[in-house]
Amino acid sequence: MTDINEEKFYVVAAKSELDATGQMHVDLNGEQILLCKDGDEYYAIAYMCSHEEFGLEGGTINNGCITCPYHGAEFRLKTGEVLAPPAYENIKTYSVRTDEDNISIGLAE
């Protein structure tokens, strides 16, 4: 019997691809994900803001948080916790693994 919460990891980008902007939109098995880099850490969060159906891509990343570029909602990258309105719902986060060169995102099977 397999664990219900088991994840399968998919290589989605080379680390060097995030060097310029620190962000990348990923469509992984139909899930819209924003891959983010903050310092030396990598995160994967829902692409869309929970306030409106606008992408978080292009938002400011600072101190482990991302601010929506449209209405200013703020979310913690590690947990998806909403930190500032107008959003009131958390966003989904995904597991991330890195090796020397690549970034992988985990999806529940």
| Per-domain boundaries in the chain | 7-108
| 76/83 Cα distance (integer angstroms) | 7
Q: What is the pLDDT of residues 4-46, one digit of tens each?
A: 568 999 999 999 999 888 999 999 999 999 999 999 999 999 9
Cis bond upstream, residue 86 (ω within 30): yes
User: What is 7-108's CATH number?
Assistant: 2.102.10.10
Q: What is the pLDDT of residue 78?
A: 97
Q: What is the pLDDT of residue 4?
A: 55
Q: What is the mean pLDDT of the chain?
A: 94
* Spatial distance between the Cα atoms of 5 and 64, rounded to a whole number of angstroms: 26
Instruction: Tell me what pLDDT residue 19 has.
Output: 87
DSSP state of 81: -
47-77 residue pLDDT tens? 999 999 899 999 999 999 999 999 999 999 9
